[in-house]
Amino acid sequence: MKNTLLTLVFLMGSAVASLVAAPARPNVLFISVDDMNNDLGCYGSPIVKSPNIDKLAARGVKFERAYCQFPLCSPSRSSIMTGLRPDTTKVFNLQYHFRTGLPDVVTIPQLFMRAGYYAARVGKIYHYGNPGDIGTSGLDDPPSWREFYNPAGTDKTALEPEITNDTPSRGLGSAMSYLADAKGRDEDHTDGKVATQAIALLEKHKAEPFFLAVGFYRPHTPYVAPKKYFDLYPLEKIEVPRIPADYAKTVPAPALASTRPWPNFGTTHEQARRSKQAYYATISFVDAQIGRVVDALDRLGLRDNTIIVFWSDHGYSLGEHGLWMKQSCFEDSARVPMIFAGPGIKAGTPSPRLVEFVDVYPTLADLAGLKPPANLEGVSLRPLLTKPDAPWNRPAFTQVQRGDFPGHSVRTPRWRYTEWDGGKQGVELYDHDADPGEMKNVAADPRHAAVIAELKALVNKNWPVRVTGGVAEPGAKKAKREKRAK
């Protein structure tokens, strides 16, 4: 009997010790940037200086080929936060909120809050007009947060009158506009304030499980940053692609319709170079703010129990194809930087596999041991976070709207296929083995008929019902909106 009691006490003690030793639930630091493409040091840029994002890539898995579902702010952000594709959220513009049609949808932070996490937002996670809505909640989703903060710095409150706008018919939020000698310290600008507030929340909530979403506003136009960041990019080292005069004849008209007038919104080559210089300067500025937040996480001893996700809402064209900004189906616009780092994630090994934004939600739920909603439209990336080159056979889908008809694009390891209005407005096919810049449309080449048939079948499977008409913005309304600041 005595031995039995001793055995029972030992087993109970072991169970208690096991519970004490069990790892805490992982925190999530969810870092987003606005309009940042893959021109980063860790993605191979020979010119862009992004030391803090590069360090983050070295401590986690950098996805070489990650794709957004819709290269426009609100549709893309709604998709990643709900784990649903745009045809499910019905978000195709900057006005419609996903809860209008999906009032009970559970977002990523909601799932974590239901599991007892503290969830907060600092800055831009859902859509904000940038710079128009800085300092407000914009098109936020209040059920997603316990707390939220909307910083506004001197770039918004004092410096806007000094900004140069080389496309004066366009509002600052959709213009090629910049301020090369912005006054003030980093901490005085909006993104500096975002970092400062995020650090304060890390310090306050370090002892409890948290989901902290930190949304930076740069490098979104207007490209504003302190002068020291512009000094990193001498103008003589900045070049913008020169597009052949007859290039527009080689692709369907909707492919180039996101930039009007084409090319480069009608700016001169010199003006485009200055905008690109300013864009790169703002990348380095926001990189420094990301470094402040990640350094604070490490200083507070949270590194070993925090999953970090870094992402941009979409890519960004800088003169490729004569286009500027986003809303195209080309690689420059659809491809995004995305990095996962943290416990259980392999450090320093990039993944070459194709992944999508809709995969982020099920991945975070999987890593945290939470049961996600059954309707998510992506898959967990956990196999790639432990073995980045694990077998993977999933294409990536991206879409845009052109007035009342869509553009649908599918990316496979070798090919990109795009069709406009179900093919009625044209098709495109690009061979990334031979043409990574997507400058030669080979859709009309009969040698690729079988490839087109295969890729068209993927498009038809992903979009069995084509959304046209009333859901998309009418062309006149869209044109009017583009003149306002985003």
Give the residue numbers marked as catalytic.
73, 127
**SS3 breakdown of the chain: % helix, strand, coil, rounded to 5?**
40, 20, 40
Query: Where do runs of H (alpha helix) occur along 170-268?
Result: 190-204, 227-230
Give me 72's structure tokens. 């426009």
Which residue has tokens 């997603």? 144
Distance CA 337, CA 423 (A): 30
- CB-CB contact of 367 with 111 (8 Å): no
Rounded to whole angstroms, how far apart are CA atoms 41 and 85?
30
Measured between alpha carbons, how far is 353 from 484 in angstroms, rounded to an integer? 38
Q: Are strands 210-219 and 118-123 parallel, antiparallel or unpaired?
A: parallel
Q: DSSP assignment of 202-254, as one string?
A: HHHSTTS-EEEEEEEEEESSSEEEEHHHHTTS-GGG---PPPPTTGGGGS-GG
DSSP 3-state assignment of 135? coil
Q: What is the DSSP letter of 195?
A: H
Centre a 10 Å sphere on the Cβ of residue 309 and count the other Cβ atoms it contains: 22
Check whether the bond before 234 is cis (ω within 30° of 0). Answer: no
User: Any idea what DSSP says for residue 139?
Assistant: B
Nearest to 274 by CA among 234, 228, 243, 314: 234
Closest C-alpha to 401, from 463, 485, 358, 355: 463
Q: Sheet harboring 415-420: ordered strands across?
A: 396-402, 405-411, 415-420, 427-431
What does the chain come to in residues? 486
For 14, phi then psi, to 5°, come to -65, -40
For residue 400, give the nearest of 345, 463, 443, 353 by alpha carbon: 463
